[in-house]
Amino acid sequence: MSVLLHFVQGLYIVAGVLFIFSLAGLSKQATARQGNVAGMVGMVLALGATIIHSMWMSSQDPAGRHSVLVTLLLILLVLAIGASIGIPIARKVEMTQMPELIAMLHSFVGMAAVLVGFNSFAEGGDSVHLVEVALGVFIGAYTFTGSVVAYLKLSAKMKSAPLTLPGRNMLNLGAFIAFFVLMVWFVVVGKTPSALGWALILVIAALAFALGFHMVAAIGGGDMPVVVSMLNSYSGWAAAAAGFMLGNNLLIITGSLVGSSGAILSFIMCRAMNRSFVSVILGGFGSEGGKVLTSAAVEGE
């Protein structure tokens, strides 16, 4: 391993530590600002390390990848597109609209995990890697549609009343059983990319898209803040799955931090609201409905 790769791994470690400090700081109002700064610095280091690593990979395999210059230009283009969209939204969003904004950001993480899964499958791998791909695509697709539904309900663009299909619990159970069967089939036949393998992973994604929509739509709009916290946890696990697929330790660390902290926060919120944590996970939470919490209805800090 070259000195440059050691440097990149060092930056990943520092960024991971800063993310831990960020969570610790954000847990208290007095240190929230310092925690936010620590998270920002950690993300800058993580992005810098990723850019350096991508350019190094291009320099080592010029025949199989883009040139270093093209790689750098593509990265800068993507950053420019993201900044041009994100900065205006961050400047104009009200604090009372944060839950719906966070829900939308979670959907991006979920879709990113799905796309990483497709790309990882195209490169092939062993059985363990295929399990990572199937789980990453499933969690990511579920998070994407679930987060979109949460955003629509929080922003009052979708009816806040829960969707109550006949036998919805059996539908959810059947979907999870179908996913397990499809994943086993996918692992058996997908060691080399084939038409059947692609069909299976696409069916897994479609199943997760539908399941994410159904399970979150079945929850009343007034309970969406807790659901957003749970989706935050799911987005973390989706990022961790992407980290396993890419062999990126920082994504694994960061995803695990987000996943565990989101689950803990959801558990605390459920206890405070006298709700069942298991019901949140299973999509049976909030069947009594309730008004959606829009920015005009939120009071206090």
The pLDDT tens digits of the residues spanning 93-118 come to 888 788 888 888 889 989 999 999 99
> 11 vs 22, 50, 168, 247, CA distance in Å?
16, 9, 47, 16
Q: What is the pTM of this model?
A: 0.84
Domains of the chain plus CATH, in order, are 1-92 (1.10.287), 95-301 (no CATH)
pLDDT, tens digit (0-9, with 9 covering 90-100), for 45-90:
999 998 888 888 888 776 656 678 888 888 999 999 989 988 898 8
Instruction: Say which amino acid occupies 45.
Output: L
pLDDT tens digits for range 244-286: 888 888 889 889 998 998 888 888 888 887 777 777 777 654 4
- What pLDDT, in 10s, does the model give residues 4-39? 888 888 999 999 999 999 999 988 888 999 999 999
